[in-house]
């Protein structure tokens, strides 16, 4: 681990935690420590961290709510940047502007509060706004690309840019940000006026469906695999006889075979082994190659 003492003036005022275990932040409850976990309060602090890291060749990466990643047990070298303190949400007419660290579910509740429709689909996705834009998160027929108007990013070179949604190359769980390495700072969503009671009912309905079908009572990273063309990952895994299959403390959920749940102090290594086993077994059984949706980062 590098010593940051010599940069204390440059990093003054920024909330930095050293050798911080990431398992307490990740949805899977696995993952080693980050050398330096930082919580910028605004885009200027963020820019200072990225500038310093680039100049000194210290690796850095950003995390949102860590609901779509597995951090390996060896942890992450350099800076891990989290946006918990950049979470302001404002409403102007039919537009909601949310900072990257805003909770997506809470943002949909703010839309409800203002009787704005279009965001109901996202009401149970446990990501941050930044992570949701990066992933083009979606559910029940909706996706971020349908409601995004524009977003503000910090480029890896330290420049702030405004990106129009039409230029975001949204696809299934894909956005331009995955190609450029930009950091999403904030996003603007365009919604429509609706009827409060109808929006509320739809959100309740989708929440009910989620609770019915997903093992939300356990740590997980949501659907581990992307939906293969013409198939459902959960169904293929189930047909391969893998429901309940366990390696270490991680198990293929009985309730939804597309989820892998941490049932007993599982590790990232358990997750990786189970993912590899499921891919191999499903390929042998159905000929379909499953592709991971969840991202695996850090050192083994
Ligand atoms: C129980 C459960 C249910 C889920 N249901 C759904 C669902 O219905 N639909 C769906 O699409 N997903 C679902 N997910 C997955 C996950 O919630 C989404 O992919 C979400 O968008 C990830 O956001 P995050 O903030 O947690 O991102 P993280 O997991 O923290 O990060 C994911 C990726 O985004 C990048 N990233 C994060 N923030 C930023 C930023 N500000 N700028 C640039 N890059 C950034 C990270 O570097 C990383 O590569 C579910 C997960 C769980 C655990």
pLDDT in tens, 144-172: 999 999 999 999 988 999 999 999 999 99
Give the neighbor-by-neighbor strand order of the sheet with 160-164. Answer: 89-92, 95-99, 183-190, 148-154, 160-164
What is the biggest distance separating any 2 CA atoms in the chain, rounded to whole angstroms?
59
Q: Among this protein's residues, is 254 annotated catalytic?
A: no
* The CATH number of the domain covering residues in 216-297: 3.90.78.10
Distances (CA, A) of 145 to 3, 24, 53, 134: 41, 30, 31, 10
Structure confidence at residue 3 (pLDDT): 77
Residue 110, both tokens:
């703010």
Backbone angles phi, psi at 54, to 5 degrees: -60, -45
- pLDDT number for residue 2: 67
Residue to probe by mutation, ligand 1, list 29, 125, 262, 268, most atoms within 8 Å of CB: 125
Residues 124-149 have pLDDT tens digits of 999 999 999 999 999 999 999 999 99
**Ligand 1 geometric centre to CA of 29 (Å):** 15
The one catalytic residue in 45, 97, 173, 251 is 173
Distance CA 273, CA 257 (A): 16
Identify the residue whose C-alpha is closest to ligand 1 atom 14: 222
The reported pLDDT for the residue numbered 4 is: 84
Nearest CA to ligand 1 atom 34: 131
Domain residue spans of the chain: 5-82, 89-211, 216-297
Distance 72 CA to ligand 1 centre (A): 17
The reply to whether 41 belongs to the active site is no
Ligand 1 centre to CA of 84 (Å) is 14
Ligand 1 mean position to 69 CA, how many Å? 7
What does the alpha-carbon distance between residue 172 and residue 14 come to, in Å, rounded to a whole number? 36
Tell me which residue has its CA closest to atom 41 in ligand 1.
130
Low-confidence residues in the chain, pLDDT < 70: 1-2
Q: Are strands 148-154 and 160-164 parallel, antiparallel or unpaired?
A: antiparallel
Atom of ligand 1 nearest to the CA of 293: 19
Choose, from 20, 120, 251, 293, the residue flagged as catalytic.
293
Tell me the per-residue pLDDT of 258-294, one tens digit each, with 9 for 90 and over.
999 999 999 999 999 999 999 999 999 999 999 999 9
* Ligand 1 atom 33, closest CA: 131
| CB-defined site of ligand 1, < 6 Å | 27, 61-69, 83, 100, 125-128, 130-132, 134-135, 137-139, 177, 183-184, 214, 216, 220-222, 295
Candidates 264, 266, 257; CA nearest to 224 is 257
State residue 8's pLDDT score: 83
Q: Is 166 a catalytic residue?
A: no
Candidates 2.30.30.240, 3.30.465.10, 2.40.30.160, 3.40.50.410; CATH matching 89-211: 3.30.465.10
What is the pTM assigned to this prediction?
0.97
CATH class of 5-82: alpha beta
Q: How many A from CA of 127 to the centre of ligand 1?
A: 5
Indicate the top mutation candidate among 68, 105, 180 to test ligand 1's pocket, ranked by most ligand atoms within 8 A of CB.
Answer: 68
């Amino acid at each position: 681990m590098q010593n940051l003492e010599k940069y204390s003036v440059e990093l003054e005022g920024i909330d930095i935690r050293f050798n911080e275990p990431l398992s307490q932040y990740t949805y899977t409850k696995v993952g080693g420590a980050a050398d330096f976990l930082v919580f910028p309060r605004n885009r200027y602090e963020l820019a200072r961290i990225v500038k310093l890291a680039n100049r000194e060749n210290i690796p850095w990466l950003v995390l949102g709510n860590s609901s779509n990643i597995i951090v390996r047990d060896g942890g992450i070298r350099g800076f891990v940047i989290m946006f918990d303190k950049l979470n302001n949400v404002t409403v102007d007419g039919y537009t909601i502007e949310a900072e990257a660290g805003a909770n997506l579910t809470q943002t949909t509740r703010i839309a409800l509060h203002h009787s704005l429709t279009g965001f109901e689909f996202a009401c149970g996705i446990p990501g941050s706004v930044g992570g949701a834009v990066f992933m083009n998160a979606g559910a029940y027929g909706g996706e971020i690309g349908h409601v995004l108007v524009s977003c503000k990013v910090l480029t890896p070179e330290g420049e702030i840019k405004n990106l129009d949604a039409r230029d975001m190359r949204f696809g299934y769980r894909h956005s331009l940000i995955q190609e450029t390495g930009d950091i999403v700072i904030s996003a603007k969503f365009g919604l429509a006026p609706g009827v409060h009671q109808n929006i509320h009912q739809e959100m309740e309905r989708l929440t009910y469906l989620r609770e019915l079908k997903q093992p939300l009572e356990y740590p997980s990273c949501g659907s581990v695999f992307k939906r293969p063309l013409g198939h459902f990952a959960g169904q293929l895994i189930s047909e391969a006889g893998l429901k309940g299959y366990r390696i270490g403390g991680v198990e293929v959920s009985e309730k939804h075979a597309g989820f892998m749940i941490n049932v007993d102090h599982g590790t990232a290594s358990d997750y990786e082994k189970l993912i590899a086993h499921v891919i191999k077994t499903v390929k042998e059984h159905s000929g379909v190659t499953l592709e991971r949706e969840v991202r695996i980062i850090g050192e083994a």
